[in-house]
A and B are shown apart, each in its own frame.
Chain A
């Protein structure tokens, strides 16, 4: 049994049909071809499937797709909003916070929500915001650094790379 539904994905209004038991993650990955959001456990334990639903980070693997009908979904593919990576994506790349990269899409979505509401998050706030996203590679250190770097870049209106270069020069 399939059902048609419409939802906004990365800014586009999309009309699609999905089996009624599909989750948002399955719809994104297997129907819409947006494979950036990952499936690590399929039961709400790991956070790899995190996307933004009306701006809020949620686990798409346990959200029945009907519940996203009429709402706005942003996935990792939509975070940049243009040809250049977002400051957060750029910062994560510069610090090497994506090793295997499998947790990365979810981390980016959770951190994007954090930065949208808090331009100068503390370490504690970052740890808290990412506590639903398991990363098996990094020990989180370089991910924390990236979020801080992105916040600094946004505050100063510079790129993450410029912030790092300025720091290296002691500025």
Chain B
């Protein structure tokens, strides 16, 4: 190795705070530190390319024509005039893309462009590609669609009636059923009725979650391109490139191997980009038809209609406990408002019950959940999929129970702590830091001095939760790995990590880079990450259900260790020591027993070169698959919600309520989260703060709501970022992040998720704090001033 190269490498190692220092108590040098993200400075200098930042020569622009009716039969579509406009290259309608798709293989009920009927205001019916957006918009105006309007249903209760069943939104799956029911799940664990009857105290409640949307700041965008060979490439702001690739191929009738999906940088997703959308199919087909690249960028308004946000949910809960506060029976019934299509709804319906059973020990549990179609934008997965709503209902129930029993609500939660082992619905929990989470928020918030002790108008509330680190089973059944990572090690010392995880702002690229640097002993700056391009990287299932750190992280560890083993072998022979004694760290390969001896160490690049000479070019693919044995129950549905590892969270929220106006000012939210092991504490805190923010926003500000009545029924009430209020920098409470680590045997270095779990407790903690402050129970969201004011008025009327 040339001495200049060598010096450069050592300098880089010395500059790198994660490398030069001594290892931490856990023996790690790079992981566990607040490292910068590999793409961080690109994002901070405007150099990062998002989908709409890409432009291809000769690119056309596409626009979608959307339905003005919530429910109507399409009688005819006339595109002749539109086609004749100068600058219009193609117009497509439902007949051009008739194959149904959907993220869940058993519930494919969507078409890129509606065929026969439209099911919500905003359902796409035609798409135009033209030289520019203005021409495309003019062409939309020239398309004539004749509709025959049908009765529409904006509430699930309405969709369940016999009249609605006669004109259902989707045809029934079986004769005699109401087609408006998407899914019904009923599961019981233990003798709920007996234990409820025997309980010393039972609290009942009727709770309502109102529906919210993701509102990422980047609108969805996709570009289709077909090369001279007929190979289709779609760039898209998606968080599931692999599933998108499969569905594109299926709907377009192409060979999957001839479809490439590339995910450029994504400007926020939160679950709102985790399934295929109309625009992706349309740009693909339009590119195939015209031979030109085609881009489609949603308007902000279109995002509110594409939606897939959190389901409105009506929930009835009965919770029975013994006098000492031990939970005996939980009986839950939920009605989910699904909107016009299935989306992830089958899973949502299960999650609304299955994910509630930790961190507490429940002696018995029953849930009965029904998802119903309505003529509204489809609901789907939003951060904390399916479980934020029931957690809201349940954690308020626990607060009521504590009040009834005269127990401190934190103490009540402690008494019911499940520890590790099996949940009542038989999920295997191997690590559980919930008690530490409770303790952390109790201490940091000054809980003991505040709860029931603050002056009227001011209060604190607590809530806990549990979430999954990925799901044990992929969305389409198969036995192949859930994640894989390819690592290439080059003789200069450069390491490339090729992985399929979707970087959507959460830091998956940073996590993989840090793992590679840790395992192979190179400075972070020597690691390049290439992700989410289906032509280049191994298959990964995408950024959903908080799976990436655990699954892709494990795959990355496996790939790196395969290479490291070869390097250690070769270096061991060169230094005359057994390979087990060779350590790769800090830019060196050295003898772990005599780390400072110059003749017992080699610069890492020289070590790679020796290994390359012995073994050939260095590289490996590592993969990870989830455990299937003994991790869930064998009952039907027992696999849904089962995860390799579970994360835990506790929040305390402090609020000030103005009794005159009903305005709730959330002052501080203390968030303690058990992420197993913080591979980068900065990224973990970022997820905790972002999650708590989003929960707070749903509690106080946001409401995805449609107008009622005729003629505007089904129109979005506030489809802009001005009217759909999301918190500004002036609206947010202070977020205090408290990281808890209970290493999980299944996670890489013990790591579990941090991106979704910390959202859940925000809403019930705020509700419980409002009760502490002013004595009213807010069982229905959101806590806007008018609603809180009304609750206060009703409360004082009752007590007068």
Contacts and interface: CB of A to CB of B under 8 A. Distances in A.
Contacts of A133: 729
Interface stretch (A52-60, A65-73, A92-100, A151-159): A92-100
Contacts of B504: 100
A80 B299 CA distance: 31
Interface stretch (B41-49, B384-392, B411-419): B41-49
B46 A99 contact: no
Among B268, B726, B729, find the residue whose CB has the most chain A CB atoms closer than 10 A: B729
A100 B216 contact: yes
Contact of A43 (B42, B266, B692, B720): B720
A149 interface: no
A23 interface: no
B690 A48 contact: no
Contacts of A43: 300, 720, 722
Interface in A122-142: 126-128, 130-142
Interface string B723-749: 000101110101100000000000000
A11 to B, nearest CB: 15
Interface in A95-132: 95-96, 98-105, 108, 126-128, 130-132
Interface string B210-222: 0000111111000
B265 interface: yes
B686 interface: yes
A7 interface: no
B716 to A, nearest CB: 14
A40 interface: yes
Nearest to A94: B36
A100 B266 contact: yes
A36 interface: yes
Nearest to A132: B728
A75 B268 contact: no
A24 interface: no
A133 B43 CA distance: 16
Q: SS class of chain A's interface: helix, strand, loop or mixed?
A: loop
B644 to A, nearest CB: 25
Given A35-B49, A40-B300, A101 B505 contact: yes
B260 interface: no
A38 B267 contact: yes
B721 to A, nearest CB: 4
A133 B731 CA distance: 12
A132 B216 CA distance: 16
B300 to A, nearest CB: 4
Given A99-B690, A141-B735, A142-B686, A136 B268 contact: yes
Given A89-B41, A136-B270, A139-B732, A99 B505 contact: yes
Contacts of A136: 214-217, 268, 270, 694, 726
A46 B729 contact: no
Contact of B46 (A35, A134, A138, A140): A35
Contacts of B506: 99
Nearest to A77: B46
A135 B693 CA distance: 10
A29 B107 CA distance: 40
Interface in B669-694: 682-683, 685-686, 689-690, 692-694
Given A38-B50, A96-B686, A101 B216 contact: no
B35 to A, nearest CB: 10
Nearest to A78: B46
A100 B729 contact: no
B52 interface: yes
B615 to A, nearest CB: 37
B599 interface: no
Nearest to A164: B34
A133 to B, nearest CB: 7
Contacts of A127: 729-730
B406 interface: no
Contacts of A98: 40, 43-44
A92 B25 CA distance: 29
A27 interface: no
Interface in B88-104: none
B505 A41 contact: no
Contacts of A100: 216-218, 265-269, 504-505
Contact of A36 (B47, B219, B269, B730): B47
B216 A102 contact: yes
A138 B507 CA distance: 13
Interface string B42-64: 11111111101101000000000
A139 B693 contact: yes
B50 A36 contact: no
B37 interface: yes
B721 A40 contact: yes
A39 B221 CA distance: 12
Interface string B285-310: 00000000000000110000000000
Given A80-B45, A93-B36, A138 B690 contact: yes
Contact of B720 (A36, A41, A48): A41
A45 interface: yes
Among A29, A75, A99, find the residue whose CB has the most chain B CB atoms closer than 10 A: A99
Interface in A18-64: 29-30, 33-46, 48
Nearest to A79: B45
A45 B45 contact: no
A100 B690 CA distance: 11
Contacts of A45: 300, 720-722
A132 to B, nearest CB: 8
Contacts of A140: 693, 729, 732
Contacts of A41: 300, 720-721
A36 B45 contact: yes
B729 A130 contact: yes
A25 B224 CA distance: 24
Contacts of A40: 217-219, 267, 300, 721
Contacts of A39: 52, 219
Nearest to B43: A101
A85 B45 contact: yes
Contact of A96 (B37, B53, B214, B265): B37
A9 interface: no
Given A76-B45, A134-B728, A137-B268, A99 B686 contact: yes
Contacts of B214: 136
Contacts of B300: 40-43, 45-46
A75 B45 CA distance: 9
Contacts of A131: 728-730
A123 to B, nearest CB: 9
B501 to A, nearest CB: 15
Given A38-B50, A136-B726, A93 B721 contact: no
Interface string B695-734: 0100000000000000000000000111000101110101
Interface of B: 34, 36-37, 39-50, 52-53, 55, 214-219, 265-270, 299-300, 504-507, 682-683, 685-686, 689-690, 692-694, 696, 720-722, 726, 728-730, 732, 734-735
15 contacts: A29-B53, A34-B46, A35-B46, A41-B720, A43-B300, A89-B45, A96-B507, A99-B505, A101-B42, A102-B50, A131-B728, A136-B214, A141-B732, A141-B734, A141-B735
Given A100-B218, A100-B265, A104-B43, 20 more contacts: A35-B50, A40-B217, A40-B218, A43-B720, A45-B721, A48-B217, A77-B47, A85-B44, A89-B45, A94-B36, A96-B507, A96-B685, A101-B43, A102-B268, A126-B729, A128-B730, A131-B729, A137-B268, A137-B690, A143-B729
